[in-house]
Chain A
């Protein structure tokens, strides 16, 4: 069965190639740091399941130390100049969009089709991982297609991948690191403590105050933990079930649906939601790490107010 291990192997090989090319990049004066960083990340993908828990912890620590010591530079692989690109764009025109569109089309087709594909009655592709496997396959097909259609050198896929990866730098690992932090926080009972505090400060005698406390609590908790999914059980169990639903008779479907969306307002405001808020700032080469958060903050705050109003207006039928 094709499953995550194959995807991890592919990712491991890609990062190993980034590490090798970084090492050979004499124009990058931090090439050793880059090589070590992407090399360790490759090791995590290739051998993570054999390193043991402590081994993986040390690996994560080493990655953080390399990044924290400022040992990551930006490699400069030989690529086309802006003038070349204008010429190429004029030559190839709208055909350039085709490989870019192949990615979503294949992700969609794979997500749907892989679940039905069987070999001797057993699923050929792990149905739980259909989307990730489709994404890996789509990325591979699009890279080869782009290389063939536009006659790019064979090494360009890895070199160009490394060029973009170096722009993202340490931010690339932040989502995974934050997921691991979430697990440690859960182990230490951080969420439970925040929930207890939220319940303590919630006024119990006003319906509107309970609704507002639940929505704001979801947003603030999400800002602190980086994830609305971590906030939901704590806030709903602590405030929504006993008060908004229990005492004031709110419709659970309305309360929970809008409660979760209030949490999403928090996601838009926190650097801990790294893959949405910090990674794009790196990808787009923004000078301010928090520029994306600043751009979406007015929308997030207005939406939080709207959610409080909507829950108050829609959840109480009687």
Chain B
């Protein structure tokens, strides 16, 4: 039970908004010490895993390309493109992106879009442009909703693809328990949830437009 101290440290640390990197190290120490490891052993175990997980941070390599494009006006061009479309609203743009992201992920194309390469330079500026004029608070909400839409599309699309990590994990785990399941059987049963996610988040996106335009509605 004492090993759960690490979880408690995480919950408290994040709730009190301490620097998350420090919270993570403190949580590792708390759980490791509770499990009977010495501080040096915990630090070594942490360091070993930190080193083998470097691939997680490789995605930052896209930042220079995105940065140069921003320097040359990519975000402004994304805005101009949207402003030329009369029917565009923030909700509709995000809805279209949700559909694309879910379909691409279902085809195994999870890496074709993402927060750094798509949401910041393209999606968020487009959604903002469609919703202008925006108050500061609403601008923040549009940006947050753009990031959220990317996540929802990715999460509830990718499990339809046969060779994704989570499907392979399920097949392997069940196999160890003496149950044989085909990846296809699993990916088929991810479809009802994917459709529900599109309907629910999509409906929220269309309702989102109304929350952005109280002034316009009052005028009408």
Contacts and interface: CB of A to CB of B under 8 A. Distances in A.
A285 to B, nearest CB: 8
Given A135-B58, A146-B72, A271-B14, A295 B145 contact: yes
A207 to B, nearest CB: 18
A224 B111 contact: no
A278 B83 CA distance: 29
Contact of A54 (B40, B55, B188): B40
Please tell me the size bucket of the interface on A. Answer: 35 or more
A241 B148 contact: no
Interface in B124-167: 124, 140-141, 143-148, 150-152, 154-156, 159, 165-166
B179 to A, nearest CB: 5
B64 A228 contact: no
Contacts of B44: 53-54, 57
Please tell me the size bucket of the interface on B. Answer: 35 or more
A268 B140 contact: no
A291 interface: yes
A292 B150 CA distance: 11
B74 A279 contact: no
Interface string B59-75: 11111111111111111
Contacts of A292: 144, 147-148, 151
B50 A303 contact: no
B86 interface: no
B92 interface: no
B77 A189 contact: no
Contacts of A58: 43, 47
Contacts of A84: 73
Contacts of A236: 173
B205 to A, nearest CB: 10
Nearest to B74: A96
B156 A100 contact: no
B14 to A, nearest CB: 5
B72 A170 contact: no
20 contacts: A11-B60, A14-B64, A55-B47, A58-B43, A64-B24, A67-B21, A85-B75, A100-B74, A129-B55, A184-B6, A189-B3, A224-B11, A229-B169, A232-B173, A256-B170, A268-B155, A275-B115, A279-B116, A284-B146, A299-B201
Interface of B: 1, 3-4, 6-7, 10-11, 14, 17-22, 24-25, 27-28, 31-32, 34-35, 37, 40, 42-51, 53-77, 80-81, 109, 111-113, 115-117, 119-122, 124, 140-141, 143-148, 150-152, 154-156, 159, 165-166, 169-170, 173-174, 177, 179, 181-182, 185-190, 192-193, 196-197, 200-201, 204
